[in-house]
Structure formats: structure tokens, C-alpha cells
Chain A
Amino acid sequence: MPTKTKTKAEIADIIKRIELISGENIYKCYQCGKCTAGCVMAGEMDISPYKVIRMIQLGLVEKALESESMWLCAACFACRERCPKEVDLSKIMEALRVIQVRDGKPLIEPEEVADEVIEEMPQQGIVSAFRKYN
């Protein structure tokens, strides 16, 4: 059993922060799973996209923030395009990334990226990655 490290008030604060950064009402999601059915990255994620929202709804925000899922979200907007409740999940994934980055926990640091990757990847890709990951 993972130990509970945050108080109820702290959890409520994080949920508020997610809603403020994303501009989305997370309680609109009714768990149909359509976002996940069309997500090309869902197979790589440890927690699938619709479950990420559910966890936030249930206050399991620490688990959601610990998961790799938001880093694997490619911001392709397929979920947003298809959600029957007009939830923009790409913005919720962004909010989770932004919280980590603003709290000093970026996914990558420039010096960690292999020279070969910098050499090969188009400038657009490098800029995108650093906008999302750092």
C-alpha cells in the first residue's frame, strides 16, 4: 500500500491547480473511454488517458502525477476532437506536465539529450520537446 503523503486540503489544491492551468472542468468526464480508444500512445502509458482523469476526480492526484502517461501524450488532439463531453484531455495532460516542470521536475534536461538525437531531429521537434518536457 502506498503511504498517503498529502492531506485532503493539499489534494484539493492540486485539483484546483490542474483545473486552473488546463481551464477544463475535470468532472465533466463521464468515463466513456472514447479518448483512450483513439489515443495512439495509450498502449505505451502505464495509466490510460481516461483513467488519468478518473484518478484526478477521485483525488488520487499523486498517482496521476507519478505516472508516465502525461510525458507520453503527444498532444495530437484526437481525444479532444472526439470527446462527447467536450473535455480537452490534451489540456489536462499539459497541466500535469506543467505542474511537474514548474515544481522543478522536468522530464529532460538539455545536456541529457544525446548528440545524435540533436543532430538528426528537426528543429521543430527539438523545440516542441523542450516546450513540453522542460
Chain B
Amino acid sequence: MKYSYFPGCTLHTQTKNFNDSIKITSSLLDIELEELKDWQCCGAVYPLTADSTMGLVSPYRSLQKAYEEGTDLVTVCSACYNVLKRTNFAVSNDAQIRKKLSEYMDVDEYAGESKVLHLLEAMRENKGFEKIKEKTINPLKDLRVAPYYGCLLLRPSEELKFDNPENPTIFEEFINSMGAIAVDFPNRIECCGAYVSITSKRKVKGATESILKSAAKRNADIIITSCPLCYHNLAKEQEQLVQSDYLFKPIPILYFTQLLALAFGIEVGSCGFESNRIDARPILKSKNLISGGDAL
């Protein structure tokens, strides 16, 4: 199945390992991602103002382009997903907004005809989890993986319709299909503090620590995410936690497609583990998922 692909600003810059692993793995699942031409940053946060629609211009443009291409739009960064899908919801349901946007941009009116899908949804739509089972040549046996959903994939649920907002299961399905163990931990849908971490007063300490400790209590080996900001907050604050709490054992944070690449037997050097803030290779080596030589 062919889709337009919206990488977003972070996957093209800081988290190339996420983007690379998405490309390698999705092609093996018959999900053909063609990067949207001239895409622009979606704005990263959905504008919550009722009196201004300016913030919707950029996401509307991307949606409109995907529609022109005759495709649905796949994105993977949780923030891009939230913004694009909410914008699509708004223009589908609010004739005034779409009229304003199309007139302002001088383009044909687009009313939400294309779908916005997260890669996990595209997998679900294309029997992806069964295919993962078939194509896994390096089953992630005994690896305890904690799926961290965060906020932006799940809420607001009436607009995103991604999964059950209080008890989602799609990441668990993904983890199980690679032969790994999905760790059920209470804080998997709680917020990490998001952009509040820019103020450097460590106001996200409480939020991140409760997520990390909750995963640690359930003996997670790895935490997976699809959000670069969650990744950053959980990894950065964890470095402080390791310093202050000598009982806390580091839990590497990975992008979910990095693990998929490993399960598909893709050469370790191409899974992007060397760019992760907390090195996952020692734990993967201890589970015999990569060889000693690979880990170096």
C-alpha cells in the first residue's frame, strides 16, 4: 500500500535513526512511504485557540498535498500525528474553518478526504502485526519492553481514534509480534512534561521519574516510544535519576522501529543504536539479541 509520508522536522535532523529505521522496516511490511514534496513543519502543537486559525495553515497545506497525490498521509512522530490528525478532524467537521483556510491559501477546498495515519495504524490496516510475526528472524525473546504511549497518540480520543485512551493495546500487539514481552506498567499513558523541559528548572522531574520508576518496578529492559520529545525528557532526566538513586538501573529508551529493525535481522549497525542517549546494546547483548562483536 502506498502512502504519502510526513517525517516532520525532528526526524530529518536530530533523530535520523528513527527515520532510517522507519524506512527500512516499513518497506518490509509492504507499506510504501513516499515523502511528501515540500512539506513544512506542522507547528508541533495543535493550536487550542478558537479565535485564530493561523496555526492550521501549515498542517492544512500538507493534508491538501497528500490529497492531491491521491494518498492517505502517514506520520510517525507523535506530535506531527496529533497536529495533522486534529487539523484533519477540524477541516472535516467545520465548514467555516476549511473555507477560511482554503481562501487564505488560495487553494481548492479540502474537507478531510485523506486519512491521517500513524505508522502503527498503517500496520494495523495492512495486517502488519501478522507480517511482523512472519518476517521476524531474530525474535526478541525474553526482552521486556515497556510501551510508553504518552499523550499525543491517544488524546483527545474523540478526534484521534487511535486506540482506547485509558487502556490502549496497539503497542503491546506490536511488541508481542516481535516475540518480546510487553510490560504492563501503570504510567504508560501519562505525560512526560513535554515542552515544559525547555525552562531548565527541571519541572518535568516528577512526571518523568514516575514514568521511569513505574517501568522499573515492572522490570522493563527497554522503553519504546514514538515521540522525540518524550524520548528526550525520559533519557535526560534519567541521567539525573541514576546519579541520585543508586538503586535505579538505567532503562534505555528506543524508537519502536529500531527494535523492529533488530527483529527483522537488519544489521545492528543500521538500527541506529549508537545514536541513542542511553546505550541499549549491553542489555541486548545480555539477552543474546546482538553478538558481542556487534555490541562494540
Docked CA distance A128–B77 (Å):
13
Does B229 contact A78, Cβ atoms closer than 8 Å? no
Does A117 contact B196, Cβ atoms closer than 8 Å? no
Stretch at the interface among A7-15, A28-36, A55-63, A106-114: A106-114
Does any Cβ of B come within 8 Å of A26's Cβ? no
Tell me which of B51, B198, B210 contacts A129 (CB under 8 A): B198
Docked CA distance A93–B178 (Å):
41
Docked CA distance A110–B48 (Å):
22
Count of A-B contacts judged by CB separation below 8 Å: 139
Number of interface residues of A (CB under 8 A): 41
Query: In the complex, what's the smallest C-beta–C-beta distance from B39 to chain A, in angstroms?
Result: 14
Does any Cβ of A come within 8 Å of B79's Cβ? yes
Tell me which of A21, A78, A91 contacts B151 (CB under 8 A): A78
> Which residues of the partner chain A approach B155 to less than 8 Å between Cβ atoms?
76-78, 80-81
Number of interface residues of B (CB under 8 A): 47
Does B197 contact A125, Cβ atoms closer than 8 Å? yes
B contact face: mostly helix, strand, loop, or mixed: loop
**Which residue on B lies nearest to A95, using beta carbons?**
B49
Does A76 contact B45, Cβ atoms closer than 8 Å? no
Does A74 contact B198, Cβ atoms closer than 8 Å? no
Does any Cβ of B come within 8 Å of A37's Cβ? no
Q: If A40-B206, A75-B45 touch, does A124 touch B156 (CB 8 Å cutoff)?
A: no
> Which residues of the partner chain B approach A47 to less than 8 Å between Cβ atoms?
none
> Which residues of the partner chain A approach B44 to less than 8 Å between Cβ atoms?
124-125, 127-128, 131
Does B156 contact A81, Cβ atoms closer than 8 Å? yes
Does B194 contact A75, Cβ atoms closer than 8 Å? yes
Q: Which residues of A contact B (CB under 8 A)?
A: 20-23, 40-41, 43-44, 71-72, 74-78, 80-81, 88, 90-91, 94-95, 98, 107-108, 113-114, 117, 120-129, 131-133
A-B residue pairs, 9 tightest by C-beta: A23-B50, A76-B191, A77-B155, A94-B48, A122-B228, A129-B198, A129-B195, A128-B195, A127-B44
Instruction: Name 9 extra pairs, CB < 8 A, besides A22-B49, A125-B197.
Output: A41-B207, A72-B196, A74-B192, A75-B45, A122-B231, A122-B232, A128-B195, A131-B44, A131-B47
Give 6 CB contacts A-B under 8 Å: A43-B206, A113-B198, A117-B198, A122-B229, A131-B47, A132-B195
